[in-house]
Chains A and B, each alone.
Chain A
Amino acid sequence: MSAEPAVSQDEIDRLYARLKKEAEASGYFLNPDVDFTKSLVKGLLVNEDRYGYWACPCRLADGIKSADLDIICPCDYRDADLGQHSTCY
């Protein structure tokens, strides 16, 4: 696996705005720590570049979509994590 692909701040800001809008339309809220959330968004974009899909930045992806379906954001563990930690893992 090569080093992290370049992701621009503009890409991060645009995806952040889109996810915020989509989350709030579904009754969810992004973490109010914007810097932290944007670093997660950056991780999603890095993984999209690597694998072609939004594998969770905090879980190790196989890189094979059929094996990673459970960890593609929003992942299968989101609601359980929200219940346990008040935030996704």
Chain B
Amino acid sequence: MAKHVPGKKGPYIMLYALSTCPWCQKTKRLLDEMGLEYYYEDVDLLSGDARRDVMADVERWNPNRSFPTLVVDDSRCIIGFQENELRNLLKV
């Protein structure tokens, strides 16, 4: 079950992250700073079927399976910490 961070309603944001990854932490901080509602999963903290299922979702958007992978409205994906792209795409 993805974690929910409450905030301003806008596009549906799903962030696939690793708890150990500073680029993922920067992405979370940016979303927090923008005050947006989002969901995230720290994939390294999952195991077994839960990890397999989530990685199947990640791979659908990002065949390289790298982190962070952020999916907006189940239609657009941003790979890596791309601050300007995130700010532009997620303006609310």
Chain A residues close to B by CB (< 8 Å): 1-4, 36, 39-40, 42-43, 46-47, 57-61, 89
CA distance A45 to B21 in the complex (A): 12
Is B38 in the interface zone, CB < 8 Å from A? no
Chain B residue contacts of A1, Cβ below 8 A: 44-47, 51
Chain B residues close to A by CB (< 8 Å): 18-25, 43-47, 51, 55, 65-67
CA distance A82 to B65 in the complex (A): 19
- Give chain A's interface secondary structure class: loop
CA distance A89 to B47 in the complex (A): 24
Q: A57-B22, A58-B18 are in contact. List 8 more A-B contacts (CB 8 A).
A: A1-B44, A3-B45, A4-B20, A39-B22, A43-B20, A46-B20, A58-B20, A60-B43
**From B20, B24, B51, contact of A47 by CB (8 A):** B20
